[in-house]
Structure 1
């Protein structure tokens, strides 16, 4: 029985099993992506906790070491006072030498200024071997100014209202430890950042392998039924009892499937790029889509490019991107609304900007942040890969950008494609 071509064609419906499988794949991709994001955030949190813990521990260690150095200097000051105010005692002198050795061991810079305001004794103050007396005095004065800003002086009462002062600064070891936590935190942050880059690079490489394998397998699986369909088209043409228009319509669909197969087979391969007239390609393809979507969807193209404006494109892949965005827009509008395509080339930017706007239901900010994630979709059918592949095609193959420019609930969404443009000489 031959079907009357004038009768309305039955709409294509996915088999329930196919719907179930695509839904499962979409959820699996989305779950895998979410799990990896969770691991990434958990790694960052653990690294941050370790860094903060190390910072607090080292600061506590620094505070304890600073207190110990202060006690050493105070003990040294007390012995200086004792020797100064009492008769010479060999035991006290020996003890003073022991304390001086302890201060020297910790490398604590110390300057004792007597009651005549003269630096009569220094410990751990480095002088150049060839420094003159004047140069030594100048170095001591500079060190004193720094010590006065760092710690309050320790008075040494020597009786009769007279007093000397001991000035000191932190040892080099303590200074190192004080800055060590910040250096450590910076290093850990740097390591974390490098680990994040490595993780992201590995994740993207793995995803690319998945998409390439899926695309090429799809192209391969489509090859056999396409060959069979072409044979059926020739058979229908050879049968005088079959309306020729049926064969023509089937052939159009076969050609369409061949183009889709070519697109899938190009994923993962280095596509052939050519300088193409962007406005012409977009306008022609929008006209093609207009005849194949709901008649209640109105397309408009606002071309603000000069006629000679071109960009390096792979026509098949670029048309696929436009098709994905427009079909998502049609679904978002429920088959009723307007799709506006605007092409611009702002001066001094060397860019072509293509805005595709719809009057659909819009997206929440949460959905906007996930719209390009593998497996994410607000529709009940589909794999949630269309926009993911579209973004990869624009960014990986065309060195451009694809993002959601704006979206408002109940008013619609605008996607923007940015392509590097060929400079047009005046």
Structure 2
């Protein structure tokens, strides 16, 4: 059983619950927006009802004044009308029985005659009717008159207020997304550093011991020299792995390498260390000697991770094709295809996530490390180009083509 160090285990635990944190954050934002909209809608409805009652009171006061006999004391009602006019921002149009229009709280240009004012009020009346406020009928006894009213400036602002609330929620959501992304990158760095420390610790002592044992075996005449040579290669391989992890902890040095030669050399090494039932073919349409800026040790690690995943996907039996070609925008493509079981749609978005693995003993870091190496250190891209159940998958590595080089 593999036991992860604290530096690696804690970040992986964070990633396993990262989706739930995002869902919870999204749910909180939706709740805040919903509650705010519900509260604002209730406030708007109450204000709308209050304005309606105010206009009804205004209409009733006017009706009383207009229908009262000459001996009635209507000074109080005139004062009420005056106060309503002064303290009200609701646009009102009063249409009498003859169709003549009077207005309250509607700005009119100076120095216009009665006919021009009526034309402007007719246009304003259409706008008020469009606001769907039912006109208030005043029965004057001998004729019926109507008061049309629109929404006050405050009510209009409150109607648009939910849009500003949604904008605030979107901003909060965006900031939350940035926070999660930042946390994710921070936890990624802990994964890489922790993994590098753990690997260096695990490899240091046995590597020194193996080197000493190989030197002893070289002097043993009874030992097949070819075996000693292969052991020496494996020790060199372990030293390469140690170099890889040391490069992860610092900025790696990129050099121009012959891309096809680099991959071919590594595949020749890999072939004798995987199942003999896996046939690996390399094809290239690149110009001979095409260079790419890579860190040899790290880039070989990327190829190794993808190829070993392909071998596992084929259960040790199948064909693998590595196709090197040039794409658009000065990109170099490396397509690695297998004839394995493919990736189900539900897992396609998870394959590069730290901690995700379909293997019982897997750590789920191989493709994550490969993607980080390609994208963070080589300014390229690692993507799942295509996959089909029981037919295989193709991963694509894209690298920027070196500029101003004649190759």
Q: 1:159 to 1:310 in 2, by over 3 A?
A: farther
**Among 26, 29, 44, the residue aligned to 1:44:** 26
SS of equivalent to 1:341: strand
Aligned runs of 1:184-263 on 2, under 5 Å? Answer: 184-239=165-220, 242-263=223-244
3-state secondary structure, aligned to 1:298: strand
Q: Which of 385, 388, 403 in structure 1 is aligned with 2:368?
A: 388
Cα offset for 1:127? 5.1
Distance 1:26 1:68 in 2: 62
Any gaps of 5 or more consecutive residues in structure 1?
A: 1-18
Q: Are the structure 2 counterparts of residues 126 and 377 from structure 1 closer, same or farther at C-alpha, using a change threshold of 3 Å?
A: same
Secondary structure in 2 aligned to 1:222? helix
Partner of 1:411: 391
Q: CA deviation at 1:390?
A: 1.0
In structure 2, what is the equivalent of residue 147 of structure 1? 128
1:379 maps to 359
C-alpha deviation, 1:359, in angstroms: 1.0
Q: Does 1:351 align with 2:331?
A: yes
Residues 56, 136 of structure 2: 8 Å contact kept: yes
Q: State the partner residue of 1:81.
A: 63
Partner of 1:332: 313
Alignment root-mean-square deviation, CA: 3.0
1:311 corresponds to 2:310: no
Task: Encode CA deviations 1:283-341: one digit per residue, 9 max, x unaligned.
Answer: 33223322322111101122122336443322211111111010011111111101111
* CA–CA distance in structure 1, aligned partners of residues 100 and 311 of structure 2: 90
Distance, in Å, in 1 between the alignment partners of 2:398 and 2:369 is 16
The residue correspondences of 1:265-304 to structure 2 (distance < 5 A) are: 265-304=246-285
Distance 2:2 2:113 in 1: 91
CA distance in 2 between partners of 1:88 and 1:318 (Å): 103
Question: Does 2:92 correspond to 1:113?
Answer: no
Secondary structure at 2:42's aligned position in 1?
helix
Note if 1:133 corresponds to 2:115. Answer: no
Shift of 1:49: 1.9
Q: Secondary structure of the equivalent of 2:333? A: strand
Q: Give the paired residue count.
A: 403
Query: Residues of 2 paired with 1:88 and 1:232: CA distance?
Result: 126
Secondary structure in 2 matching 1:369: coil
Instruction: Find the counterpart in structure 1 of residue 342 from structure 2.
Output: 362
Deviation at 1:103, TM superposition (A): 5.8
Structure 2, unaligned stretches of length 5 or more?
Answer: none
3-state SS of 1:407 partner: strand
- The corresponding residue for 1:124 is 105
Q: Cα gap change, 1:288/1:139 in structure 2, threshold over 3 Å: closer, same or farther? A: farther
> 1:124-179 CA distances to partner (integer Å, 9 max, x unpaired)?
23457xx3335983764543332122134333343434x44322211111111111
Distance 2:53 2:174 in 1: 42
CA deviations 1:375-394 (Å, max 9, x no partner) are: 22212223221111111112
Q: State the TM-score, normalizing by the size of structure 2.
A: 0.88
Structure-2 separation of matches of 1:407 and 1:76? 73
Q: Does structure 2 retain, via aligned residues, the 8 Å contact 1:104–1:123?
A: no
Write out per-residue CA displacement over residues 354-379 of structure 1, whole angstroms, 9 at most, x where no aligned residue: 22111112222223232222222212
Deviation at 1:22, TM superposition (A): 5.9
The secondary structure found in structure 2 opposite 1:345 is strand
Q: State the Cα distance separating 1:247 from its structure 2 match.
A: 3.1
In the superposition, the TM-score normalised over structure 1's length comes to 0.84
Q: Distance in 1 between matches of 2:374 and 2:86?
A: 67
Q: Secondary structure of the residue that 2:74 maps to in structure 1? A: helix
2:136 corresponds to 1:166: no
